């Protein structure tokens, strides 16, 4: 990627100062200007206050991750400066609130360009300290070529509904910031790429994209209990599902939500819920019932730092053990994992389809970083998605809910279907649904329930291999770490290192043959994961002949490309 076409701006300050709004406005303006956008944000668990950071990466070329570090750092307060000053390296740019802010920086490091902007002072002179972020955005726009027209379009869309007076005030604050930015002699070359022809894209967060995928996927019933970082999925669905005749319920807890999902699905509705790790733990028993009763259901787990309540607003990908084996008894389920915001749309549709087709629980794994990341993605077209409906009884002959069929998938009958009466409980049963404890029956039914989606590994889209031929290093990545590895692999190749990537998204059942084929072309295998135990590496060792090198971090932040590049060099 050309560095001149790639700029990373980090804005940081105290929660409540408008840090997130600044980032959202800049990202939306750049997307309207036809540029590629990838954002990353982190914020405290407190309702207000605490350190908050928003990073926007903008390019005229496709981007896959938030980048290594910033090119431009805008500090709203002293805490933000203290936490980021060690990253002010030669070539970076420092924009800060001075005079009038709560700090004065130390001597500016050699090679760092600094622009003091009196954000707080200007906001107070305008009559509202809350406009500080608008002043900052005006200065950033002037200094770094953020398209003024699209910024104003975004601000108008946001504030016009609040009244002309509010809109005019924010535009006035933006213009004041622009004036303060232009007052500086521009001495650095950092800039956002020029606007290009607009594309048919949207800018959307991972959570909203999952909600969009659910609506596109034909969802009819959604129940959830609010939990960080998954709540925004329910908020999106609450806004849009009723327009299509669907139903959303805010349950009193996670156990109730999955129970309601199973009840709605039993009644014939395509149903799902969304939660994070603590909620998934609570749902384990009823997910076992869904397996036993062969009731279609789809669950999104937006992973966060754990264990227990852990780090509720921080990033981790540590629920793989729970998603795959979080059950009593043998109750395997389908587990998928998304890479980026586009996957959040497309694979939510896939997950709903799989639940309906195979009449089983399907878990879709996202994570805290991706949940709040906004990216530019092609505007989805409903006509491009194929929707799968469950196999239903045709009404002919005597009905057996759990009949042994050729494909091991038995027809379902909605309640009230004449002749379709049947029992559905968590107890082992025979073909008609009545409890049956015979050893031979239990073994046969377990083989039926497990075997019906065994062929999925050969029918779902093949695991992507990034690269051809023999390689010195093969990197296996899952979840949002894939985007980081994509860029790292490209950098390694530019340095003459033979590197390949392997990016599984069907996590279970595990496409073992595809793993083995990839590993056979690589001298060494590295598996980077944001969890302490190396959970995917564990499954690779358990299910294949591969002996990977596990590379784990779990500090609440995702990998960046340089970390992967440096680890590969260490390994080689």
- Flag whether pLDDT at 205 surpasses 90: yes
- pLDDT average, residue stretch 203-228: 97
- pLDDT average, residue stretch 469-476: 98
Pairing of strands 471-476, 522-529: parallel
- Flag whether pLDDT at 1 surpasses 80: no
- pLDDT average, residue stretch 244-269: 97
**Alpha helix (H) residue ranges in 217-335:** 231-240, 254-266, 277-293, 320-325
Residue 460's CB: how many other CB atoms inside 10 A? Answer: 17
- Flag whether pLDDT at 542 surpasses 60: yes
Over residues 48-72, the pLDDT tens digits come to 678 999 999 999 999 999 999 999 9
Return the CATH superfamily for domain 203-384: Thiamin diphosphate (ThDP)-binding fold, Pyr/PP domains (3.40.50.970)
The predicted pLDDT at position 196 comes to 87
Over residues 7-28, the pLDDT tens digits come to 999 999 998 889 999 999 999 9
Residue positions counted in the chain: 572
- pLDDT average, residue stretch 447-476: 96
- Chain centroid offset of residue 155 CA: 26
Which pair of structure tokens corresponds to residue 239? Answer: 């806004």
The predicted pLDDT at position 156 comes to 95
The predicted pLDDT at position 423 comes to 86
- pLDDT average, residue stretch 504-525: 98
- Give the whole-angstrom CA distance, residue 207 versus residue 46: 20
Q: Which of 321, 326, 351 is nearest to 336 (CA)?
A: 351
- Give the whole-angstrom CA distance, residue 506 versus residue 515: 12
Same fold, 3-182 and 459-571: no
The predicted pLDDT at position 45 comes to 67
Please check whether the domain covering 3-182 is classified as CATH 3.40.920.10: yes
Cβ atoms of 380 and 216 within 8 Å: the answer is yes
Q: What is the residue-wise DSSP string for 506-542? A: EEES--HHHHHHHHTTEEEEEEEESSSS-HHHHHHHH
- Give the whole-angstrom CA distance, residue 84 versus residue 442: 59
Average pLDDT value over all residues in the chain: 95
Over residues 269-293, the pLDDT tens digits come to 999 999 999 999 999 999 999 999 9
Pairing of strands 334-337, 113-117: unpaired
Over residues 95-149, the pLDDT tens digits come to 999 999 999 999 999 999 999 999 999 999 999 999 999 999 999 999 999 999 9
- Flag whether pLDDT at 2 surpasses 60: no
Stated as kind and residue range, the H or E segment containing 157 is helix 148-159
- pLDDT average, residue stretch 464-481: 98
The predicted pLDDT at position 47 comes to 63
Percent of the chain with pLDDT over 70: 99
Which residue ranges make up each domain of the chain?
Answer: 3-182, 203-384, 459-571
- Flag whether pLDDT at 411 surpasses 70: yes
Please check whether the domain covering 459-571 is classified as CATH 3.40.220.10: no
Residue 456's CB: how many other CB atoms inside 10 A? Answer: 16
Ramachandran bin of 382, using left for φ above 0, alpha for ψ from -120 to 50, beta for the remaining angles: alpha
Over residues 140-198, the pLDDT tens digits come to 999 999 999 999 999 999 999 899 999 999 999 999 999 999 999 999 999 999 998 77
The predicted pLDDT at position 402 comes to 97
The predicted pLDDT at position 197 comes to 78
Q: Which of 51, 79, 50, 84 is nearest to 69 (CA)?
A: 84
- Chain centroid offset of residue 178 CA: 34
- pLDDT average, residue stretch 350-376: 97
């Amino acid at each position: 990627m050309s560095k001149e076409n790639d700029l990373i701006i980090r804005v940081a300050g105290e929660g409540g100062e408008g840090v997130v709004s600044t980032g959202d406005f800049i990202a939306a303006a750049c997307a309207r200007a036809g540029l590629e956008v990838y954002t990353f944000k982190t914020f405290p668990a407190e309702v207000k206050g605490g350190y908050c950071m928003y990073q926007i990466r903008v390019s005229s070329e496709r981007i896959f991750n938030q980048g290594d570090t910033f090119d431009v750092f805008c500090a709203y307060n002293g805490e933000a400066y203290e936490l980021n000053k060690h990253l002010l390296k030669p070539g970076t740019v420092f924009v800060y609130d001075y005079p009038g802010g709560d700090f004065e920086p130390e001597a500016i490091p050699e090679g760092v360009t600094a622009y003091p902007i009196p954000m707080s002072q200007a906001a107070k002179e305008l009559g509202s300290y809350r406009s500080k972020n608008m002043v900052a955005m005006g200065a950033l726009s002037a200094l770094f070529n953020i398209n003024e027209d699209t910024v104003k379009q975004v601000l108008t869309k946001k504030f016009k509904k609040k009244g002309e007076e509010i809109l005019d005030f924010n535009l006035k604050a933006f213009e004041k910031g622009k004036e303060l930015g232009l007052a500086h002699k521009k001495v650095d070359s950092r800039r956002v790429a020029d606007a290009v022809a607009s594309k048919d894209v949207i800018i959307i967060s991972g959570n909203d994209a999952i909600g969009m995928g659910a609506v596109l996927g034909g969802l009819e019933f959604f129940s959830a209990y609010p939990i960080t970082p998954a709540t925004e999925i329910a908020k999106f669905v609450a806004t849009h599902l009723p327009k299509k005749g669907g139903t959303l319920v805010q349950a009193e807890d996670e156990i109730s939500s999955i129970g309601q999902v199973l009840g709605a699905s039993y009644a014939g509705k395509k149903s799902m819920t969304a939660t994070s790790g603590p909620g998934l733990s609570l749902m384990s028993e009823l997910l076992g019932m869904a397996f036993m009763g062969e009731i279609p259901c789809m669950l999104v787990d937006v992973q966060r730092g754990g264990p227990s309540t852990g780090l509720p607003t921080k990033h981790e990908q540590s629920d793989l053990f729970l998603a795959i084996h979080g059950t009593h008894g043998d109750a395997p389920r389908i587990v998928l994992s998304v890479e980026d915001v586009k996957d959040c749309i497309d694979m939510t549709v896939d997950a709903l389809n799989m639940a309906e087709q195979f009449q089983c629980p399907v878990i879709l794994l996202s994570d805290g970083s991706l949940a709040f990341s906004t990216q530019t993605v092609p505007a989805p077209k409903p006509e491009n998605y194929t929707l799968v409906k469950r196999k239903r009884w045709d009404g002919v002959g005597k009905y057996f809910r759990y009949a042994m069929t050729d494909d091991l998938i038995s027809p379902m009958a909605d309640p009230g279907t004449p002749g379709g009466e049947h029992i559905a409980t968590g107890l082992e049963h025979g073909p008609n649904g009545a409890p049956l404890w015979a050893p031979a029956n239990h073994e046969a039914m377990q083989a039926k329930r497990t075997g019906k989606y065994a062929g999925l590994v050969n029918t779902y889209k093949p695991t992507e291999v990034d690269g051809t031929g023999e390689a010195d290093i093969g990197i296996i990545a899952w979840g949002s770490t894939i985007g980081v590895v994509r860029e790292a692999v490209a950098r390694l190749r530019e340095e003459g290192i033979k590197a390949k990537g392997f990016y599984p998204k069907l996590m279970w059942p595990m496409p073992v043959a595809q793993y083995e084929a990839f590993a056979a072309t690589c001298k060494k295998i590295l598996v980077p994961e944001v969890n302490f135990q190396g959970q995917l590496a564990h499954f690779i060792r358990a299910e294949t002949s591969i002996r990977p090198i596990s590379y784990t971090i779990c500090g609440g932040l995702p990998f960046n490309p340089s970390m992967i590049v440096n680890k590969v060099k260490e390994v080689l």
